[in-house]
Amino acid sequence: MRWGELLKSVEREAWVRFFIALFGLTFAFAAALFSTAARESGNLLATAVLASSALVLAAAVGIATVPYLARRVALRRVRDAFNYDVTREGVFYLALTLLIAIAALNTGNNLLFLVVSAMLGAVVVSGVASARVLTGLELDLELPAHMFARQSYAAVLSLRNRRRFTSALSVSVVPPVRKKAGSRWAWRRTVFVFPKSEEGKRAWIRWPDVTLVRVPVEAPKPGILDRPVYFPFVPARQAAKSEVELRFESRGRYEQRGLGLATRFPFSFLVKTRTVPIAREVVVYPSVSTTEELTSVLPLITGEFESHVRGRGYDLYRIRDYAPEDPVRHIDWKSTAKSGALKVREFTREDERRLRIVFDNPAPGQLTPERYELGIQLAASLAWHFAAENTELTFAAPGYIAGDGVYGFLGYLADAQPGSGQSVLESLPVTGDYNVVLTARERGTIPTSVWQSSYILFLNE
């Protein structure tokens, strides 16, 4: 096996922690031996200091290295099963146990050794009982099909107990701890070169090596569940369900990669958490709530659109004065009788109620983030409004692939970010559709063909 392949197979962090544990336990053992010698010589102060040092070193090794190394055993069910967090009660209990253990070592009192054994036994019993509670549990999360920003929705969290005889007590479903963006130290493979090779010269030594560098860490996507959900009791072979209120303040994609089942049962010394693999992803559409901008432009757009599509159809558009070219069958006799003048009914043409919403995605820097989000929300609100008005809708945007109707366009807006600045206005097909264009371009750069049969909203004004 070559050196490079050997280095790839070595788990460096595991070996580092192993040697730390080895040296720590060696010093702890030496301190314990010296404390015994000091006790026999009658030096109580040295005995207390050395015995305490031995216990502290052993405890530090146990906390820092044993859980990490235990997670690397062969059995995956044991390795990935649990995480531990010491509670304040647990810290107080372990500190009290340590004090009694020091007193037992210094005095040699058998009763104190029995008390320490009982206290440590309680910790073991607590660990076994909490592990028993968390095993055999399955988790499921049911989410709504469509969700919009700034609206509340109800999701259903289901916890099923697969065990036949044992009930689960005091279990909380908790979101995982999410890492922040930044950087971390990591080992990277490199090559040791001596001397430093110059252009045209060969190095004498080229040896596989590793180096410690800082690597950037990207922040994960926001999670779906952001607070714990408590289940006090789940009977054997049954399931408990809880409704969870979800509310997302901004558009985008949210994903859940695993949830934790945590418990303090029975003595609250430790919070034991078992990670359950669960994969969920939701697309949160932009908010379609009524805003001041929508209220101001919607009547204008509706009026222009209705003027574009009015004709002879089935939906009444308006009643107006009679013109010589109007057929007699469209005369409204009731309105004629009331007004004393001939009135006719004008209808919209159902086969021409086609509307195209065009989002001309601007380049970075053309709009402030606030104005950009306002344009996204306005486009989504207009699409949602006209989708409910029995209008044949189509959409156009840079990179948008037609499909799934209004939800496909809302999904595009949910992920949209300032693009390359490539406009879709020059490539709009010339059809009978009426266009509602949202753009950040200057007025003088709008093609002449777009001005015809279009309502243009300038996002930078």
| 362-382 pLDDT per residue, tens | 888 888 989 999 999 999 999
More confident residue, 17 or 260: 260
CATH of the domain at 243: 2.60.40
Instruction: Please give the structure tokens belonging to residue 129.
Output: 């009982």
Residues 364, 323 share a domain: no
Contact 60, 251 (CB under 8 A): no
**Would you list the DSSP string of 88-107?**
HHHHHHHHHHHHHHHHHHHH
Listed ranges 270-279, 302-311, 350-359, 416-425; the one with the highest mean pLDDT: 270-279
Which of the listed residues 101, 116, 134 is the one where a domain comes to its end?
A: 134
More confident residue, 281 or 183: 281
Residues 221, 271 share a domain: yes
Does the pLDDT of residue 66 top 90, yes or no?
no
Does the pLDDT of residue 89 top 80, yes or no?
yes
Instruction: Please give the structure tokens belonging to residue 233.
Output: 């009791």
Residues 116, 265 share a domain: no
Residues 386, 344 share a domain: no
Does the pLDDT of residue 157 top 90, yes or no?
yes
d(C-alpha 449, C-alpha 66), whole Å: 73
Domain that holds residue 53: 3-134
- Which residues touch 300 (CB under 8 Å, ≥6 apart)? 455
**Would you list the DSSP string of 189-255?**
EEEEEESPPPTT---SEEEEEEEEEEEEEPPPPPPS--S-EEEEEE-TT-EEEEEEEEE-SS-EEEE
Residues 268, 189 share a domain: yes
pLDDT bucket at 312, cuts 50 / 70 / 90? very low
d(C-alpha 447, C-alpha 453), whole Å: 12
Number of domains in the chain: 4
Residues 280, 148 share a domain: yes
Residues 407, 390 share a domain: yes
| 160-202 pLDDT per residue, tens | 999 888 888 889 999 887 666 566 677 777 777 766 655 556 6
Residues 195, 126 share a domain: no
More confident residue, 1 or 307: 307
Residues 356, 344 share a domain: no
- Please give the sequence-ordered ranges of beta strands (E in DSSP) within 341-453, or none if there are none: 343-348, 354-359, 392-396, 434-439
Residues 180, 109 share a domain: no
Average pLDDT over residues 92-120: 87
Residues 385, 338 share a domain: no
Please tell me the predicted confidence (pLDDT) of residue 78: 43
Does the pLDDT of residue 399 top 70, yes or no?
yes
Which of the listed residues 112, 134, 156 is the one where a domain comes to its end?
A: 134
Contact 238, 161 (CB under 8 A): yes
Residues 179, 110 share a domain: no
